[in-house]
Structure 1
Amino acid sequence: MKRRQFLRYTGLGVGAGLLAQLPLIGKAIPIETPWYTIDVARKKELADVALNAAKSKGATYTDVRIGRYLNQYVITREDKVENLINTESYGIGIRVIANGSWGFAATDQMDKDSIAKTAELAVIIAKENSRLLTTPVELAPQKGYGEVSWKAPITKNAFEVPVKEKADLLLAVNDAALKGGADYVGSYMFLVNEQKYFASSDGSYIDQDIHRIWPTFNITKIDKATGKFETRNALSAPRGLGYEYLQPRDSDKIKGITTLYRDRYDMIEDARQGASQVAEKMKAKSVEPGKYDLVLDPSHLWLTIHESVGHPTELDRVLGYEANFAGTSFLTLDKWQSKNFKFGSPLVNIVADKTQPGSLGAVGYDDEGVATQRWDLIKDGVLVNYQAIRDQAHIIGLNQSQGCCYSQSWADVQFQRMPNVSLQPGAGTLSPHDLIKNVERGIYIVGDGSFSIDQQRYNFQFGGQLFYEIKNGQITGMLKDVAYQSNTQEFWNSCKAIADKSDYRLGGSFFDGKGQPEQVSAVSHGSATARFNGVNVINTARKI
């Protein structure tokens, strides 16, 4: 997954070529295959084979991940279903420490002899790696949990919903957009089920059932006279929910500039609004460059949080161990050690959280068998912590992992991945309308768009989906060709107001790329609408 591909999937301005580029894991299975799980007792039996074999060959630590990963994609365009695909991947990954070094091996041959041989291979690899070792692996202590389980708190399993029902919904979305004046529309539904079993020589046997869903679309309208066009992508957020996410209650249907989404999403209403808004974009005036106060909707702000806060607080980037996918981090250890690095204004409180219900990153235990948790990254504007796993914790003086280790499949080694990283809402009572009414010259931005950020996660530029001009506290009309530029510290220090918790919403990415060999993970970012004063805005249509 290249960094630009992440952007492409964020916007989903793609057609039939989408399938060729999606991270399809595993083999194709019949589309209506009944959903089921593997017997837990059988998984424990196989895990014990791996644990015993690794120990007998000299491993001082072993963890085992048995995974069954299901993916389903429903892809439509206008009045047609373009593709339906189900995939399944099932196998075991075994990670060991021997002679102070890591070793890893994996197999999809799920008989006891193959698993024992794979465990032995992991030990051989660790011992060979130790020849180049300068410092032995130092793991934070972790007490075993025994036999425990965790299940995503869904109320309707999307994999048990008939494919026809999903396709009919997407076709209804397309119909709503076309009736609203769109020339082209494609809608998509992506489903993930991770059935994960973890066992370790620490004494943990953890069974987890994780569900994620992403409904989205892309609308295009063309000016027949000029050939110019405008697009509007869905304002949905991928979520760690079941099919109930797509069954809005009357109380969840909030109409206006944006269809608000919390735990329910009205996809058809969003398409109706999208068709109207893309027509409005055709007539919008081009922005005048300059300094503006920006009022940023959560459907936009999540991506800025992801790029300028989430990635630079990953400890491996800070240490220079990771530089793939846009570099390392400007948040070096000396800034944290100073205890007073002014990352943002005193209003800025940003937390990491792997426990948040309904989020993409929510699990009970990470891929090192550590119970997930919530912790501060930025407190009252000051950098206070990073994201660390078991073999990193000692570097920043922690006596335990923060529980943010993840692998995209049983076949890939687990490593530090971003937890949900979210801006906390304001403490008082403040609505998005209140933020706007105090702006003399500003822009209200809805939805994510193109972006660029440097190799230290410092200087950046962000676009969006919808841009509304604000004059003297009133929205006066739509703008286009808008992007804002800043650096991370300057931007977050310009944060002057954040709406209250009633406006808090999640955005996120299904396909966040990191590592080499590359892996993808799913992560959410929450916020309420926030105002940033005096930010530089450029016109993206004008030549420099």
Structure 2
Amino acid sequence: MKRRDFIHLSGLGLGAMMLPGLAFGKEVSPEELMNPGMLNAAKKELADVALQAARSKGATYTDVRIGRYLRQFLFTREKNVQNITNAESFGAGIRVIADGTWGFAATDDVTKEGIAKAAETAVAIAKANARLQKEPVELAPVQGVGEVTWKTPIEKNAFEIPVKDKIDLLLKANSAAMDNGAAFVTSNLFMVNEQKYFASTDGSYIDQDIHRIWPTLSVTAVDREAGLFKTRDALSAPMGMGYEYLDGLASEKTEGPAGTGLVSYRNSYDMVEDATAAAKHATEKLKAKSVNPGKYDLVLDPDHLGLTIHESVGHPLELDRVLGYEANYAGTSFATLDKWESGDFKYGSDIVNIVADRTQENSLGKVAFDDEGVEAKEWDLIKDGVLVNYQAIRDQAHIINEPESHGCCYADNWNSVQFQRMPNVSLRPGKDKLSANDMIKDVENGIYIVGRGSYSIDQQRYNFQFGGQLFYEIKNGEITGMLNDVAYQSNTQEFWNSCVQICDKDDYRLFGTFFDGKGQPSQVSAVSHGSSTTRFNGVNVINTGRNI
């Protein structure tokens, strides 16, 4: 990683800092982010050059991605601006099949000559790879769609909002936290625009303009006499929306369970309000009692459960992990093909229905087509608790007898080769009317958990441990106070089979991340996970004994 990139990533925290997929491209001014870029007619002409050049060298299939990737990241701490990043990356990636084998090449020389040379290089690489290929690539069919355009349905382009206004919002949130007891506070705003043009020998010319936004913060309260500190991070979710997400509309938020002082946000986020609440929560955590380890019924808020879904369902049902093709980055999967082939593997209880979905409104994974030109869709992964499918792309579909790709292929930049990536993976809400308060009323001895914390899961995505941001003790149907040092342990099958209640669609919310890492070289992708508040009975809780 270059020193410049390292400095840019300083506000992301240690884990995100080291993700190589976050190389931004060249630094530009905020005004340059608003330049319209290359016209579609010019992109089509260049794509045709690549398709013809590859065909002339022996390619039997070719796809071209001409991409312009824009990023604006803002970092603040207390009263100060730490960093502002404006970056643009523009180029083309060309993927081919020649002699039954994949080849890929990329170039930032987006001219007819540069494109043709990259296409010829991709074919040469494929032919070289073919000497080691044991079986030819088998692609699921895709019907060409001709010329298509699609754009994330945003109301306010975040890049059009003046940088000063966005910095003012972050500093206002910081001030609100400090005014309510915070000793330290950081706030960040991530905005991404992917302008992607895809063309293939199947007859598709697809232009997509994808927008994502993520406001986040971290608040720390300190008890200097006791030598303790506690943090509470933002309860926002990254969204496939424009700047309208930060309007904080009252109609888009609801009060959390009694005794918590929490506010739940859906499709809207009030950063100042959340910063104020975060300071109060962090201060309250300083005095909260430590949990007694044992078996508890857990009531998990969507902002927490999304991470558990991501790690224990999303990743293990990626078909390349199941097949062992993906192993170096976070392991393979316990959910092997024999479990799916049996037709009765109980991944969870009867009420667990988990769906993969690239069409979900306002989600990070929402697109019209994936990076193979496959139309976005929704499909079941777990139905009535039974494992019924995986996540597969064009060259994997035949392995699980699927007639077509699931449309979940993605590359994080024009110079990255596309491969199978997690779509939105979400738990369907319950059918019966049930709120979080209603659920808590039936719990005799439990813990209500909000927000993502530290976690650990094994290389098979089976045995795990999850923490959180906030923990509330439940006794005889009421929240009695805050707890500290909570983490729960289980294995994937045992945990999802302990699921006994799911709130209805009125409680359904999205969780997500911009930085889901996979592959070697590593790539990151943005993905959402939806759920309603959910109850799991008899889960083992440990005392972590850490003052964090």
What is the Cα deviation at residue 397 of structure 1?
A: 0.2
Closer/same/farther in 2, CA of residues 19 and 54 from structure 1, 3 Å limit: closer
Q: Structure 2 counterpart of 1:23, which letter?
A: L
Q: Which residue of 1 aligns with 2:224?
A: 224
Provide the secondary structure at the position in 1 that maps to 2:348.
coil
Candidates 481, 503, 508, aligned match of 1:504: 508
> 2:457 & 2:230 partners in 1: Cα distance?
25
The answer (yes or no) to whether the contact 1:196–1:207 under 8 Å persists in 2 is yes
Q: 1:19 to 1:272 in 2, by over 3 A?
A: farther
Q: Is 2:101 the counterpart of 1:104?
A: no
Equivalent in 379, 385, 388 of residue 381 of structure 1:
385
Q: Deviations over 1:475-506 (max 9, x none)?
A: 00000000000000000000000000000000
CA shift, 1:310, in A, is 0.0
Residue 138 of structure 2 aligns with an amino acid whose one-letter code is E
1:82 maps to 82
RMSD between superposed Cα atoms in Å: 1.7
State the secondary structure of the residue aligned to 1:313.
coil
Say yes or no: does 1:247 pair with 2:251.
Answer: no
Residue 208 (str. 1) matches residue 224 (str. 2): no
Following the alignment from structure 1 to structure 2, what is the Cα–Cα distance between the partners of residues 528 and 501? Answer: 7
- The whole-number CA distance in structure 2 between the counterparts of 1:388 and 1:364 is 17
CA deviations 1:308-350 (Å, max 9, x no partner) are: 0000000000001101332100000010000000000001000
Shift of 1:19: 10
Are 2:497 and 1:493 aligned? Answer: yes
Match of 2:429 among 425, 430, 433: 425
Residues in 2 aligned to 1:454 and 1:34: alpha-carbon distance in whole angstroms: 41
SS in 1 for 2:130: helix
3-state SS of the aligned residue for 1:177?
helix
Q: Which residue of 1 aligns with 2:465?
A: 461
Query: After the TM superposition, which residues 117-266 of structure 1 pair with which residues of structure 2 at under 5 Å, given as runs?
Result: 117-256=117-256, 257=260, 258-266=262-270
CA 1:506–1:20 in 2, change beyond 3 Å: closer, same or farther? Answer: closer
Compared with structure 1, are the counterparts of its residues 304 and 34 closer, same or farther at alpha carbon in structure 2 (3 Å cutoff)?
closer
| Map of 2:542 onto structure 1 | 538
In 2, the alpha carbon distance for the partners of 1:437 and 1:542 equals 30
CA distance in 2, matches of 1:495, 1:447: 19
Alpha-carbon deviation of 1:227? 2.0
CA distance, structure 1, for counterparts of residue 440 and residue 13 of structure 2: 30
- Corresponding letter in the other structure for 1:95: R
The yes-or-no answer on 1:338 pairing with 2:342 is yes
* CA shift for structure 1 position 31: 3.0
Task: Give the letter for the 2:472 counterpart.
Answer: Y
1:445 aligns with: 449
Per the alignment, in what secondary structure is the counterpart of residue 350 of structure 2?
coil
Aligned to 2:395: 391
2:297 matched to 1:298? Answer: no
Query: Is the Cα–Cα contact under 8 Å of residues 13 and 233 in structure 1 kept in the other structure?
Result: no
Contact persistence 1:140–1:399 (CA under 8 A): yes
Aligned to 1:29: 28
Question: What is the CA–CA distance in structure 1 between the aligned matches of 2:442 and 2:537, rounded to whole Å?
Answer: 11
Q: CA deviation at 1:12?
A: 5.5
SS of the aligned residue for 1:131 comes to coil
Does 1:48 pair with 2:48? yes
Q: Partner letter of residue 502 of structure 1? A: D
What is the distance in 2 between the residues matched to 1:25 and 1:64? Answer: 21
Q: Which residue of 2 aligns with 1:61?
A: 61
Q: SS in structure 2 opposite 1:327?
A: coil
- Count matched residues: 534
Give yes or no for contact 1:344–1:491 (8 Å, CA) kept in 2: yes
Check conservation: 2:142, 2:374, Cα contact below 8 A: yes
Deviation sequence 1:70-128 (CA, Å, 0-9, x none): 01011111111111110100000000000000000000001111110110010000001
For 1:21 and 1:322, how far apart are their aligned partners in 2? 18
Give, in whole Å, the separation in 2 of the partners of 1:402 and 1:448: 29
Amino acid at match of 2:99: N
**Cα distance, 1:20–1:411 mapped onto 2, change above 3 Å:** closer
Tell me the amino acid that sits aligned with residue 370 of structure 1.
V
The match for 2:354 is 350
What amino acid maps onto 1:259 in structure 2?
V
1:289 is aligned to 2:293: yes
Can you list the C-alpha shifts for 1:142-178, whole angstroms capped at 9, x where unaligned? Answer: 1110001111011100011100010000000001100
| Separation of aligned partners in 1, 2:411 and 2:73 | 21
Change (3 A) 1:182 1:234: same
Aligned amino acid, residue 400 of structure 1: E
Structure 1 range deviating more: 284-293 or 255-264: 255-264
Q: Distance in 1 between matches of 2:454 and 2:303?
A: 14
Q: Aligned in 2, Cα 1:63/1:329: closer, same or farther, shift over 3 Å?
A: same
1:524 and 1:253 mapped to 2: Cα distance? 19
Distance between the aligned counterparts of 1:134 and 1:34, measured in 2?
45
For residues 310-329 of structure 1, the aligned pairs below 5 Å read 310-329=314-333
- Correspondent of 1:401 among 397, 402, 405: 405
> Conserved in 1, the CA contact under 8 Å of 2:33 and 2:86?
no
Paired amino acid for 1:81 = V
Cα separation, 2, equivalents of 1:20 and 1:462? 22
Shift in alpha-carbon separation, 1:12–1:46, aligned structure 2, 3 A: closer
Contact in 2 for aligned 1:298/1:505 (Cα 8 Å): yes
Shift of 1:30: 1.3
Amino acid at match of 1:416: Q
Contact 1:12–1:217 (CA under 8 A) maintained in structure 2: no
Give the C-alpha shift of residue 259 in structure 1. 2.3
Instruction: Name the counterpart of 2:4.
Output: none
Query: What SS is found at the alignment partner of 1:175?
Result: helix
- The runs of at least 4 aligned residues of structure 1 exceeding 4 Å deviation read 11-15, 17-22
Give me the whole-angstrom Cα distance separating, in 2, the residues matched to 1:118 and 1:33. Answer: 27
Q: What amino acid is the match of 2:31?
A: E
